[in-house]
Amino acid sequence: MDLHDLTRQLHVKNNSKIVLYVADGLGGLPQTPGGLTELETARTPNLDALAQLGILGSSIPVLPGIAPGSGPGHLGLFGYDPLQYVIGRGALEATGIGFELQEGDVAIRANFCTLDSAGNISDRRASRIASDKAAAIVTKLRAVAIPGVEVFVEPVKEHRFVIVLRGAGLFGNVRDTDPQRTGIPPLDPVAVDRESARTVEMASEFFRQARKILATEQQANCLTLRGFSGKPNLPSYEDVYGLKAAAIAVYPMYKGLARLVGMDIVGKAQTLDEQMTLLEQNWSKYDFFFIHFKYTDSTGEDGDFAAKVKRTEEFDAAVPRIMALKPDVLVVTGDHSTPSMLKSHSWHPVPTLLYAPNCRTDGCQKFGESECLRGGLGQFEAKYLMTLALANAGRLGKYGA
Amino acid sequence: MDLHDLTRQLHVKNNSKIVLYVADGLGGLPQTPGGLTELETARTPNLDALAQLGILGSSIPVLPGIAPGSGPGHLGLFGYDPLQYVIGRGALEATGIGFELQEGDVAIRANFCTLDSAGNISDRRASRIASDKAAAIVTKLRAVAIPGVEVFVEPVKEHRFVIVLRGAGLFGNVRDTDPQRTGIPPLDPVAVDRESARTVEMASEFFRQARKILATEQQANCLTLRGFSGKPNLPSYEDVYGLKAAAIAVYPMYKGLARLVGMDIVGKAQTLDEQMTLLEQNWSKYDFFFIHFKYTDSTGEDGDFAAKVKRTEEFDAAVPRIMALKPDVLVVTGDHSTPSMLKSHSWHPVPTLLYAPNCRTDGCQKFGESECLRGGLGQFEAKYLMTLALANAGRLGKYGA
């Protein structure tokens, strides 16, 4: 029996409200061993007050030592085992730009590349062509027409773009055409199983037409196809938890991930203030709210300790607007750590706070990595956060008699 | 997806060095409840200094409450789930005496036993015949000759010895011939599957010839065969972690276990000093070093608290020679606890220390069981130690995008 078999069987409905307030990349490292992390340096009076009323712990996004990308990181927070549910690279890229995949679509990450006069790849990333130039070329590729299949071509960033094939009988088990080195031509797409043969035909036809269109380009005179994948088959929040859920995010990637588990995407906020306003406006309409704050991750990726501290304080400052709504359960955490010292996602456990009236407090006084080590939630895999939230909301019945 | 599917996919190479420094049976118990354990009693200034720079935790060798033997204990430390990978008893006995099993070998644990005049077993262990006497008899058994099969017979200790059959078409699924009680004759070997029928033929022939050779012996006039097993099929460190690994051990068992996961056995050290010299000499040649220290276990098995304390201090005293090499990651732990109070391996979690520049320190001041309870690694299954070590060495890429 997996976790969702259990929650499907045990969940009950009530009028409680659960908020999952996520600071992307929240966990950090001190600038010198033994010092304070970004979160511990930040002035976070609201989160510290909640730490005293709530229960703390350290969340392990996937497994000890494993640094997750945004996909697995959020799946874990949403209660979906990130090793069981895998979002293909093409599907994640499409999700990241807000493309709404449908059942049966095949999404492909495409790269512009440069071929030399002999037809061999001289630059796998077309010299990282500028995003605006690439977008213009992507527009030209929309002229590709394949009978029986709807084709979408969408720019992402620099040399990267997304192709989505929509039609009957398409499956995503197809090998990459990027040979991962220069000096040879792109590979042909090859089907890994018989079901994916038709996808290979369509991808080959796309490639043929696209090469003609790109023939006159200097940098981006060819393309490679990678990460063929279908829409991931994730059960919905309604199905597994009985929750009507809303996502309030700024960036397309996180809206997309939330959509994959059946959350409604609410509004078009550009700032945390606007996100809080949306939360207030939609409070009566949903059981569960996922609020995503990006900048603790992006400042960490930039290696900017001070900026991450500041963004953490901004994240803290919005807490009173959430608490004014009197949520039954508030979970504050991140999808992974992004220490400024490492300028990247990392494997370090993520500080986590769960506030609920009957959470059993643990004597912790502040919200930070060291204090979380002494917290009542201990160290736990992120995938258990949702069962803890549901239980604290009175939304899980007893297992067995 | 299992842990090694993950590490296979994520591991990257760099120039980092990882050292796994193992004090066998490290964990202990106080002599009176609330007192200090062996490790806490020992003066360990070097490990205490590392505890302040590193991160501590308590490693669970297999599962809570399960005391492991040396085989599963070390498999866990090496990152191989000890419930998934099982080393057969015969294979472990062969490994323990340094016999290098080959693919297709079948190893058998054999016991000398005593038959009465009616041909029934009167002593299953031949009155624990002295090792030197037993070894002389084992030498006689080398006269056994079976066409088409190479036969090895090696003494172990007292009544125990090892038989290895080497030849085509041998499989190890054969039942023990030891009836586990006296008053009846040894059982016939019985194949559990068809593939093992030839092994039964060969084992029966060995038994027939051996009985003739033993006919004139007093104590050891017969033998039983147990733990038929082939070479365990463990993926290598190079395969699952991308690590070129060396083992520096004194005792054959630990060399053998390391060899099973593809480590090179380096040198023939007899003392910890010699092991450290080998470490220095081989530093540039490997990515990973497993150093095994036996005496914290053997003194624990002897129930000699003071001796275990002294051996722990000896283990500590060698730390500066490791640190002088500036390892990127140093893990100090045991394969299980061997409390002198219990004179045996136990289930108690094992004190563990991981030193690395970005490990996220936890404020712990000393290396010991109580302090480890407050450590940032929490309690974790030993099998995750390798992913933690790899992550801290910068040798694991991000999981998912």
Cα–Cα distance measured from residue B61 to residue B258, given in angstroms and rounded to the nearest whole number: 17
Whether A51 and A367 have beta carbons less than 8 Å apart is answered as yes
Model pLDDT, residue A34: 87
| B373 interface with A at CB cutoff 8 Å | no
Which own/partner pairs from A320-326 qualify as long-range (CB within 8 Å, at least 24 positions apart)?
A320/A46, A321/A276, A321/A279, A321/A280, A322/A19, A322/A21, A322/A276, A322/A279, A322/A291, A323/A46, A323/A50, A325/A17, A325/A19, A325/A279, A325/A280, A325/A283, A326/A17
| A64 interface with B at CB cutoff 8 Å | yes
Q: Residues A69-91: what's their mean pLDDT?
A: 95
* pLDDT confidence band for B96 (50 / 70 / 90): confident
- Are A68 and B398 in contact (CB < 8 Å)? yes
What's the predicted TM-score (pTM) here?
0.91
List CB contacts (< 8 A) between B10 and chain A.
66
pLDDT at B1 over 90: no
Helices (H) and strands (E) in chain B, counts: 15, 13
pLDDT tens-digit map of A194-234: 999 999 999 999 999 999 999 999 999 999 999 999 999 89
Model pLDDT, residue B352: 98
A-B interface: how many C-beta pairs under 8 angstroms? 94
Cα–Cα distance measured from residue A4 to residue A262, given in angstroms and rounded to the nearest whole number: 15
CB atoms inside a 10 Å sphere around CB A239: 15
Which of B52, B378, B399 faces A69 most closely, judged by CB atoms? B399
- Are B358 and A339 in contact (CB < 8 Å)? yes
- Are B398 and A64 in contact (CB < 8 Å)? no
| A380 interface with B at CB cutoff 8 Å | no
pLDDT at A33 over 90: no
Q: Residues B349-365: what's their mean pLDDT?
A: 97
Which of B377, B387, B401 faces A89 most closely, judged by CB atoms? B401
- Return the residue of B nearest to A368 by Cα: B362
State chain B's mean pLDDT as an integer: 96
B329 to chain A, minimum CA–CA distance in Å? 13
Percent of chain B with pLDDT over 70: 100
| B354 interface with A at CB cutoff 8 Å | no
List CB contacts (< 8 A) between B57 and chain A.
none
| A34 interface with B at CB cutoff 8 Å | yes
Cα–Cα distance measured from residue A91 to residue A85, given in angstroms and rounded to the nearest whole number: 13
List CB contacts (< 8 A) between B52 and chain A.
34
Q: Tell the burial category of B306 from Cβ atoms under 10 Å away from its Cβ (0-12, 13-18, 19+).
A: exposed
pLDDT tens-digit map of B71-90: 999 999 999 999 999 999 99
- Return the residue of A nearest to B53 by Cα: A33
CB atoms inside a 10 Å sphere around CB B268: 9
Whether B73 and B81 have beta carbons less than 8 Å apart is answered as no
Model pLDDT, residue A50: 98
* pLDDT confidence band for B401 (50 / 70 / 90): confident
B256 to chain A, minimum CA–CA distance in Å? 27
Which of A65, A369, A370 faces B396 most closely, judged by CB atoms? A65
Percent of chain A with pLDDT over 90: 96
pLDDT tens-digit map of B231-290: 999 999 999 999 999 999 999 899 999 999 999 999 999 999 999 999 999 999 999 999
Q: What is the DSSP letter of A171?
A: -
Q: Residues A13-37: what's their mean pLDDT?
A: 96
A41 to chain B, minimum CA–CA distance in Å? 15
The two tokens of residue A22 are: 């996520």
Whether A125 and A222 have beta carbons less than 8 Å apart is answered as no
pLDDT at B387 over 90: yes
For residue A260, report the phi and psi dihedrals to the nearest 5 degrees. -65, -25
In sequence order, what are the beta bridge partners of B149?
Answer: B146
List CB contacts (< 8 A) between B1 and chain A.
83-84, 86
- Are B398 and A345 in contact (CB < 8 Å)? yes
| A82 interface with B at CB cutoff 8 Å | yes
- Are B380 and A379 in contact (CB < 8 Å)? yes
- A151 contacts: CB under 8 Å, gap ≥ 6: A142, A144, A145, A163, A164, A165, A166, A206
* pLDDT confidence band for B319 (50 / 70 / 90): very high
| B119 interface with A at CB cutoff 8 Å | no
| A177 interface with B at CB cutoff 8 Å | no
Cα–Cα distance measured from residue A383 to residue A71, given in angstroms and rounded to the nearest whole number: 13
Cα–Cα distance measured from residue B142 to residue B162, given in angstroms and rounded to the nearest whole number: 12
pLDDT at A178 over 90: yes
- A64 contacts: CB under 8 Å, gap ≥ 6: A347, B377, B380, B384, B387, B388
- A59 contacts: CB under 8 Å, gap ≥ 6: A76, A333, A334, A349, A350, A351, A352, A379, A380, A381, A382, A385
In sequence order, what are the beta bridge partners of B106?
Answer: B165, B230
Q: Are strands A121-123 and A245-248 parallel, antiparallel or unpaired?
A: unpaired
In sequence order, what are the beta bridge partners of B30?
Answer: none
* pLDDT confidence band for A96 (50 / 70 / 90): confident
Among A110, A165, A114, A119, CA closest to A138 = A110
Calculate the alpha carbon distances from B251 to A210, B118, B272, B275 in Å.
65, 41, 12, 12
Model pLDDT, residue A40: 98
Q: What is the DSSP letter of B184?
A: S
Q: Residues A41-70: what's their mean pLDDT?
A: 98
Whether A323 and A375 have beta carbons less than 8 Å apart is answered as no
Model pLDDT, residue B24: 98
Please give the residue that has the higher pLDDT: either A98 or B155: B155
Among A292, A291, A311, CA closest to A301 = A311
List CB contacts (< 8 A) between A34 and chain B.
52, 361, 363
| A135 interface with B at CB cutoff 8 Å | no
List CB contacts (< 8 A) between B386 and chain A.
65
| A327 interface with B at CB cutoff 8 Å | no
| A179 interface with B at CB cutoff 8 Å | no
* pLDDT confidence band for A365 (50 / 70 / 90): very high
pLDDT at B2 over 90: no
- Are A64 and B400 in contact (CB < 8 Å)? no
Binding-face residues of B in 154-173 toward A, CB within 8 A = none
Model pLDDT, residue A401: 85
State chain A's mean pLDDT as an integer: 96
- Are B396 and A66 in contact (CB < 8 Å)? yes
- Are A29 and B360 in contact (CB < 8 Å)? yes
pLDDT tens-digit map of A56-72: 999 999 999 999 999 99
A63, A87, A234, A344: best mutation site toward chain B, by most B Cβ within 10 Å?
Answer: A63
Dihedral of alpha carbons B83, B88, B92, B95, sign: negative
| A89 interface with B at CB cutoff 8 Å | yes
Among B154, B160, B170, CA closest to B203 = B170
List CB contacts (< 8 A) between A86 and chain B.
1, 400
List CB contacts (< 8 A) between A349 and chain B.
376
Q: What is the DSSP letter of A219?
A: S
